[in-house]
Amino acid sequence: MLGVTSLRQITLVPDSAMVMAAPSWAAYQHLLLDLGDNRPSRIAYAGGELEVRMPGVLHELLSRVLAAIVATLADELGLEFNDFGSVRLEHPTSQNAVEPDGCFYLQNAQQGQGFAVDISAIAPDLVIEVDIASRSQRRLPIYAALGVPEIWLYRQERLEILRRVGEGYEPQGNSVAFPGVSARQLNQWLGLRQTGTDLTVIRAVRQFCR
């Protein structure tokens, strides 16, 4: 594990991650200042440790395709939604923070209306997590502490739907945010991207909804 003083000397390559000691919330905030906001990396903080991961091409492609699926489903089903991308989610009381690969307000879409938005009051209804470079198990307890009810997690070349149960998450056959949409269906749509484009996937989602 790396100390806070070594941060400026480190360069992460795509699809890699590192963990640094940050024994207090103040140390975590110091590291964030060191990293800056204009960066491609994403962070997660819990238990005195800061994880920094650098997404690669496949990671970003999967994240964007999944975000497009969410937006298309919401549009076709007439659901209000707000896409907050990889905005940092923080809970200072429990000292947890994370930058997801994507997050959406759906059932609580009114929470994200306008430009002066306070996302600390209510957690996103749906989070997208792509596990290529790092261990997603490290981030799941953070999402649980933040109160995120549903995660679409891509790992080991499969997407699974996770629903918050108690203090953790359990796999579910169908989405809570989009009843009737199964993990199997989501994987079929992702499979279309292997030989097609984003539009190929979006058209398939639209056809499913009509």
pLDDT tens digits for range 51-87? 989 999 999 999 999 999 999 999 999 999 999 999 9
Domain containing 135 equals 56-209
Return the pLDDT at 205.
98
DSSP three-state, residue 76: helix
Q: What is the pLDDT of residues 102-130, one digit of tens each?
A: 999 999 998 777 787 777 888 999 999 99
How far apart, in whole angstroms, are the C-alpha atoms of residue 7 and residue 62?
28
* CATH at residue 112: 3.90.1570.10
Distance of alpha carbon 130 from the chain centroid:
7
Is residue 94 included in any domain, yes or no?
yes
Is residue 139 included in any domain, yes or no?
yes
Average pLDDT, whole number, for the chain?
Answer: 90
Is residue 61 included in any domain, yes or no?
yes
Is residue 41 included in any domain, yes or no?
no
Structure-model confidence comparison of residues 156 and 207, the more confident one = 207
Structurally, how many domains does the chain consist of? 1
- State the pTM of this model: 0.92
Sign of the CA dihedral with 123 first, then 168, 101, and 204 last: negative
